[in-house]
Amino acid sequence: MRDIFFLIFLGAMFLIALKRPFLFVLTYAYIDIVSPQRLSYFLLNSIPISLIAFAGAFGGWLLIDNKRDSRFSWRQILMVALLVWCVYTTTHADFPIDAQAKWAWVWKSLVFAIFLPLTLRTRLRIEALALVMVLCASTIIVTGGIKTIMSGGGYGELNLMVEDNSGLYEGSTISMVAIAIIPLILWLSKHGTIFRPSRLVTFYIVALCGACLLIPIGTVTRTGLLCIILLGALFLWRSKKRLQYGLGIAALLLVAIPFLPTSFTERMGTIKNYQGDQSASTRVEVWKWTLDYVKTHPMGGGFDAYRANRFEYDALRTEGIGNDKRIVKEHIIEEGRAYHSAYFEMLGEQGYPGFLLWALIHLLSLVSTHRVYRLYTQRGREDEAWVAPLALALQQGHLIYLLGAAFVGIAYQPFVFMLLALQIGLSTYLARLRKAEGAVPIFVGRASARPA
């Protein structure tokens, strides 16, 4: 029944998109984020819906859509360079079979991120993409939030619709995304034109933001807690009432702490002592191994190069209960452990060239978005009141990603590449409008040429 529902939904989207090809873009974004194939038992897994949607998106843009206003940015050129570099490292990978498996989805994320800004020619399209990204993520977040309230969750125990610990269904990844989209959710609630502000919209926005904050609790991820702290700091930094809001947040935390699950508070306590937690200790050792690896492999080892790692270390663990507690040193041997960091993931797999390209894409996006925010804050025009808040929301979400990426291997996460594409699309759209404002007609009419 679930498969039939999805087929009917996707079929309806495809039929509508024949006249409005941008809907193919939104359909592919939905498929790339939610991956409905994972929710399917048979039908959707037997149909290449992702390929069909992308072919429709690109073909519709190429054959039907107006391409007059489309333009390439430097960040898209850097993405093309990164794509080419990934081709090189994949063909020279240390583990060719594993590298091909990862390349099979990475190239799609990169190509779509390069293509997507070309379609974002209007404010409506920019808002539609932001809305689809939020709603797609919310299908997972709302489910996780409800289950957290009902069961309290648990590390590796919260089932987010499917038993698949990858993509947005992975605990740390969805925790980061849930917190990163809160600024975008708030922007849509205030400046959205598709779903205009109303009581019903406000109710859903409040409930969704609450669910976003519950996800790190339900998944019991330290990354989510750090992202919440950064989000609070970013909000206070831009707020004109820092003291009042700061005191309010502190009061809410004091009230909430007694209601937090024991599993959450115990795991968060390991942040201050990483040696007492095997997961955190392993990450540090993998990072040390990666730094040593790139010294001898400066061009990287291709996708999944971490499979070559092997290391030994001593971890501290607590034994006993009550007054009989004691700290015991345990010798651990690990092999083939993942990077657990987007930064070390890029460094180990793509070497220094790939890491620099990836870092430059993110740096330029932050700088460009900040320039948009400053410029449109100074302009202060009523018809542009939506621009600066959107730029700020995208910047805040991006910063939260960069923090979460330090502890999760999400360098090629499709949702994040869509966030980058949204930033590029906003910048190029606004640049085109400013250029049109400054254009001076070659021939001036007699009426306008006469002196006043």
Of the two residues 159 and 89, the one the predictor is more confident about is: 89
More confidently predicted of 273 and 76: 76
**Please, what is the average pLDDT of the chain?**
81
Tell me which range, 153-162, 316-325, 375-384, is most confidently predicted by mean pLDDT.
Answer: 375-384
pLDDT of residue 103: 94
Residue 80, pLDDT > 80, answer yes
What does the pLDDT average to over 4-20?
65
Binning pLDDT at 50, 70 and 90, where does residue 452 land? very low
173 touches 181 (CB < 8 A): no
Query: Cα–Cα distances in Å, from 353 out to 81, 298, 350, 405?
Result: 10, 8, 7, 19
More confident residue, 20 or 236: 236
Cα 206 to Cα 108, 191, 210, 213, 225: the distances in Å are 34, 16, 6, 11, 19
Measured distance CA(208)–CA(194) in Å, rounded: 17
Tens of pLDDT along 337-386? 888 899 999 999 999 999 999 999 999 999 999 999 999 998 878 888 99
Contact present, 311 and 282 (Cβ < 8 Å): no
Q: What is the pLDDT of residue 254?
A: 60
* Better-scored residue on pLDDT, 411 or 271: 411
Largest CA distance in the chain: 96
3-state helix, strand, coil in the chain (%, to 5): 75, 5, 20
Q: List, for residues 131-142, the tens digit of each pLDDT value.
A: 999 999 998 898
Report pLDDT for 148.
81
Q: What does the pLDDT average to over 205-234?
A: 88
- Does position 274 have pLDDT exceeding 50, yes or no? no
Q: 112: which 2 tokens? A: 């779509």
- Burial readout 107-122 (b: 16 or more C-beta within 10 A, e: otherwise): ebbbbbbbbbbbbbbe
- Predicted pLDDT of residue 255: 57
